[in-house]
């Protein structure tokens, strides 16, 4: 029986997930299809219910449904309940299990692509949206010594900081960067189409010389945030690895086997190059 998977979002046509998940399934010789399932909010419940069919493997979930999908699932696994968001659904015997692989995917990207473990480090995160939330919880789980969240809307940063208590501080303006081992852009500043393509949340003045700068924006590949860090001679990591590793963790939840990460990177990079050439 051919199994079905896909990504549920609105809009979802731009998603790279079909490109690299199809490449991964084909490489692993698995008879699994993966589609982009454009789903307006009013159709979310029926879409998720459809995943209970025997031929459904599961789904990824993206904006704007990561929180709204939770009431339609049977169980939450991993960090998803604490994060309060699900980006991966797995169907087993008609039951639906929700996971969050965004935060763990970010940690995996740090470790495998930047050779950096957040354990014991002070981390500064710009942004307090859905992506930042997953990243903060995953950083704490991975043993970060402290996490500082800077957000234009302070209340959003405070609401994340309140939950784990102790190790998280919220700011409306950036504190001095000295003392942070990892600095992350989890805002949409710098993203193509955001209206803020030429902006960065910081210029890295005073950053510790050994700091790692991570931008989770992946279009374009080179952002103002990454360029500012490079100008100061800092190590940098772009947003594509987080995207690939969240997908790789989802692949493993569905199939039970390790994901062919290199194949997924190649497929995504090829597609991004095609899109950049056409932009
Ligand atoms: P979101 O929930 O809409 O949050 C957006 C964040 O950006 C908020 O903190 C917002 O601040 C801030 N922001 C937006 N415009 C700003 C401005 N002009 N000045 C200062 N701050 C601004 O979005 P999200 O889902 O967290 O995604 C954030 C970015 O991460 C997007 O670019 C997305 O593409 C990227 N992302 C990448 C991955 C990956 O796998 N690499 C995964 C998820 C998301 P306020 O709270 O003040 O509005």
Per DSSP, 279 falls in state -
Going from the Cα of 214 to the center of ligand 1, the distance in angstroms, rounded, reads 14
pLDDT category at 165 given cuts 50, 70, 90 is: low
Average pLDDT over residues 158-170: 87
Please write the tens of the pLDDT for every residue from 215-271. 999 999 999 999 999 999 999 999 999 999 999 999 999 999 999 999 999 999 999
Contact (CB, 8 A) for 153 and 95:
no
Q: What is the pLDDT at residue 164? A: 72
Residue 132 CA, closest ligand 1 atom number? 26
pLDDT above 80 for 166: no
Q: Which of 67-81, 88-102, 153-167, 238-252 has the lowest mean pLDDT?
A: 153-167
Q: What is the pLDDT at residue 158? A: 95
DSSP string, 204-234: -TT--TT-EEEE---SSSS-HHHHHHHHTT-
| Whole-angstrom distance, CA of residue 176 vs CA of residue 183 | 11
Q: What is the pLDDT at residue 190? A: 97
Q: What is the pLDDT at residue 39? A: 98
Please write the tens of the pLDDT for every residue from 114-155. 999 999 999 999 999 989 999 999 999 999 999 999 999 999
Average pLDDT over residues 51-73: 97
Q: Is 66 a catalytic residue?
A: yes
Mutation test residue for ligand 1: of 108, 148, 187, the one with most atoms within 8 Å of CB: 187
Q: Is the CB of 85 under 6 A from ligand 1?
A: no
Q: How far is CA 50 from CA 12, 23, 74, 240, 262, in A?
A: 18, 24, 14, 30, 31
pLDDT above 90 for 168: yes
Average pLDDT over residues 198-227: 96
Maximum Cα–Cα distance across the chain: 58
Q: Is the CB of 221 under 6 A from ligand 1?
A: no
Displacement of CA 224 from its chain's centroid (Å): 20
Please write the tens of the pLDDT for every residue from 2-48. 999 999 999 999 899 999 999 999 999 999 999 999 999 999 999 99
């Amino acid at each position: 029986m051919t199994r079905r998977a896909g990504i549920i979002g609105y809009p979802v046509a731009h998603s790279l997930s079909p490109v690299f998940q199809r490449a991964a399934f084909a490489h692993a010789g698995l008879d699994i299809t993966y589609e982009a399932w454009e789903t307006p909010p009013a159709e979310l419940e029926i879409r998720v219910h459809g995943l209970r069919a025997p031929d459904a493997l599961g789904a990824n979930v993206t904006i704007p449904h990561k929180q709204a999908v939770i009431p339609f699932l049977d169980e939450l696994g991993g960090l998803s309940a604490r994060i309060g968001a699900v980006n991966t659904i797995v169907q087993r015997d008609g039951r639906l299990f929700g996971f969050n692989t965004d935060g763990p995917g970010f940690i995996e990207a740090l470790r495998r692509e930047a050779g950096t473990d957040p354990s014991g480090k002070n981390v500064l995160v710009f942004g307090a949206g859905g992506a930042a939330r997953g990243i903060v919880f995953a950083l704490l789980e991975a043993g970060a010594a402290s996490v500082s969240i800077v957000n234009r809307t302070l209340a959003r940063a405070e609401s994340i900081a309140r939950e784990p208590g102790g190790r998280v501080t919220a700011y409306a303006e950036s504190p001095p960067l000295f003392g942070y081992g990892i600095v992350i852009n989890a805002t949409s500043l710098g993203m193509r189409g955001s209206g803020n393509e030429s902006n960065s949340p910081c210029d890295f003045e005073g950053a510790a010389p050994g700091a790692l700068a991570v931008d989770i924006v992946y279009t374009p590949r080179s952002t103002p945030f990454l360029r500012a860090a490079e100008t100061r001679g800092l190590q940098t990591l772009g947003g594509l690895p987080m995207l690939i590793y969240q997908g790789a963790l989802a692949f493993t939840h569905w199939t039970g086997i390790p994901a062919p990460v290199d194949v997924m990177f190649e497929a995504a990079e090829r597609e991004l190059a095609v899109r950049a050439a056409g932009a």
